[in-house]
Amino acid sequence: DAKTTQPNSMESNEEEPVHLPCNHSTISGTDYIHWYRQLPSQGPEYVIHGLTSNVNNRMASLAIAEDRKSSTLILHRATLRDAAVYYCILRDGFGGGSNYKLTFGKGTLLTVNP
């Protein structure tokens, strides 16, 4: 699987937007960009995924660079419940090889200050 690079930690204030970056310079054309988050004492939770176009859902937005070598997860208004480890993961979306595997790095620990 192609590798991703994320900052170890970030801090935000409650009710402010948060932009979590992810670099994936070796991404292949069939790799989808997935984001999961893990709250304390919980399993990972799916947040969003995309291929080329920006994506929005009820949890977050995903902005993908035109060259796809980086992406940003956007939380529009952080709440205390958004404090978690956020993982950016690449996954081959076209059935090649072992695309069912999620390869987690260490992720970004997001702290939200009240």
Partner 1 sequence: GAGVSQTPSNKVTEKGKYVELRCDPISGHTALYWYRQSLGQGPEFLIYFQGTGAADDSGLPNDRFFAVRPEGSVSTLKIQRTERGDSAVYLCASSLEHRESSGGYTFGSGTRLTVV
Query: Which one of 82, 107, 110, 112 is in contact with partner 1 (CB under 8 A)?
Result: 107
DSSP state, residue 80: G
Query: Smaller CB distance to partner 1: residue 13 or 56?
Result: 56
For partner 1, the closer CB: 16 or 83 = 83
Q: Which two tokens stand for residue 33?
A: 């960009």
Other Cβ atoms closer than 10 A to 13 = 12
- Residues 6 or more apart from 51 whose CB is under 8 A from it? 32, 33, 64, 93
Q: Does 24 bind partner 1 (CB under 8 A)?
A: no
Is 49 a residue that touches partner 1 (CB under 8 A)?
yes
Helix-strand-coil split of the chain, %, nearest 5:
5, 45, 50
Give the residue with the Cβ less far from partner 1, 53 or 114.
53
Cβ proximity to partner 1, 15 vs 39, nearer residue: 39
Q: Which of 24, 36, 68, 84 binds partner 1 (CB under 8 A)?
A: 36
DSSP 10: E
| Binding residues for partner 1 (CB under 8 A) | 32, 34, 36, 41-47, 49, 51, 85, 87, 91, 93-95, 98-107
